[in-house]
Amino acid sequence: MPATTARFTLLVLYTDRMEECRTFYGALGIGFTRERHGDGPEHYAAVLPDGQVFELYPATSERRTGAVRLGIGVDGAACEPPLKPGRHVVTDPDGRVIEVYAM
């Protein structure tokens, strides 16, 4: 398979638990800013060090929360509580399985 230069630039999670998810992912060292674009819904956005955007949006009848499995690399010392180096499997407030790789 040929090498690719593709990379994800945006990840949007829809949730019924905005504040709980902001707190959960914030504890992993992701800093969110509250945003609203035009008439769109208020949401949280974080620009990660490599330029990727991670957003939390309120779920609606058209955009429901769903099963997603994520892997996130973090600075374990910056987490609340701090994480020892290695792989940790946790569950976010919506029940999504998150593999956290603490460095």
Residue type, 80: E
Q: Does residue 2 fall inside a structural domain?
A: no
Q: Does residue 4 fall inside a structural domain?
A: no
Q: What is the structure's pLDDT at 62? A: 84
Q: Does residue 43 fall inside a structural domain?
A: yes
CATH at residue 84: 3.10.180.10
Q: What is the structure's pLDDT at 1? A: 57
Q: Does residue 3 fall inside a structural domain?
A: no
Q: What is the structure's pLDDT at 3? A: 60
In the chain, which residues have pLDDT < 50? Answer: none
Domain of 38? 10-102
Are the CB atoms for 36 and 78 separated by under 8 Å? no
Q: What is the structure's pLDDT at 2? A: 63
What DSSP designation does 48 have? -
Instruction: Locate 37 and state its tokens.
Output: 């674009």
pLDDT tens by residue, 4-14: 566 778 999 99
Instruction: Locate 50 and state its tokens.
Output: 């490599």
Number of domains in the chain: 1
Q: What is the structure's pLDDT at 5? A: 63
